[in-house]
Chains A and B, each alone.
Chain A
Amino acid sequence: NAGVTQTPKFQVLKTGQSMTLQCAQDMNHEYMSWYRQDPGMGLRLIHYSVGAGITDQGEVPNGYNVSRSTTEDFPLRLLSAAPSQTSVYFCASSGAASAFFGQGTRLTVV
């Protein structure tokens, strides 16, 4: 049972670089989301998608882009990384009763 798979697990970027955090789920869930987790602030919603071709902004969307071309995949793109984007990123896939989270990507922007 793979559930939600995130890659990479760790990443170091230089300021201004771009990258894509990958997220894939095998549960056929329509709803997927991205969160960032910072010390003392819990998890904050970045972007979410209610199905292929449909995305919307969450609490902290600035600096991030998403797309949803298939039910399985929901990548998160940083176009020009900034030190303020240093964080742990979690992807989630939600069924009728609960959300399933990936293991996270620890991103450091220097």
Chain B
Amino acid sequence: DAKTTQPNSMESNEEEPVHLPCNHSTISGTDYIHWYRQLPSQGPEYVIHGLTSNVNNRMASLAIAEDRKSSTLILHRATLRDAAVYYCSRQTGANNLFFGTGTRLTVIP
């Protein structure tokens, strides 16, 4: 989705917080923001989603800007198992997901 942009790669030290940014330049008012991650040779795995408010679950936190043009996925303490490609996406009212190009996260021991 050309309207959803992410940095190609990021690095983090193990056990430190990681903030993964995403820009949603033309997101509509009813589109949800979703994040998925993908390990090598596997399908994407759901991480978290939200509409307007910040969200927390056992895996991560999602911070959504007030104008909804950007979001940030926060991993509070990166582990080696968090090394993956992270995709942000927008989910339309028809339930379709439109993905960004993904950020490859490297976790340094």
Contact = CB atoms under 8 A, between A and B. Distances in A.
A56 B44 CA distance: 22
Interface string A44-67: 110010100000101100000000
Contact of A98 (B1, B46, B96): B46
A50 B98 contact: no
Contacts of A99: 34, 36, 44, 46, 97
B43 A42 contact: no
Interface stretch (B11-19, B60-68, B99-107): B99-107
A68 B86 CA distance: 30
Given A41-B101, A42-B102, A43-B87, A48 B96 contact: yes
Nearest to A103: B43
B44 A90 contact: yes
A90 B49 contact: no
Contacts of B99: 35, 42-44
Interface residues of A, number: 26
Contacts of A31: 95
Report, nearest first, the 3 A-B pairs whose CB atoms are least far apart.
A101-B43, A98-B46, A42-B99
30 contacts: A4-B43, A31-B95, A33-B97, A35-B99, A40-B101, A42-B87, A42-B99, A42-B100, A42-B101, A42-B102, A43-B44, A43-B87, A43-B97, A43-B99, A48-B94, A48-B96, A50-B95, A58-B96, A59-B1, A59-B98, A98-B34, A98-B46, A98-B49, A99-B34, A100-B46, A101-B43, A101-B44, A101-B45, A102-B43, A103-B43
Interface of A: 4, 31, 33, 35, 40-45, 48, 50, 56, 58-59, 90, 92, 94, 97-104
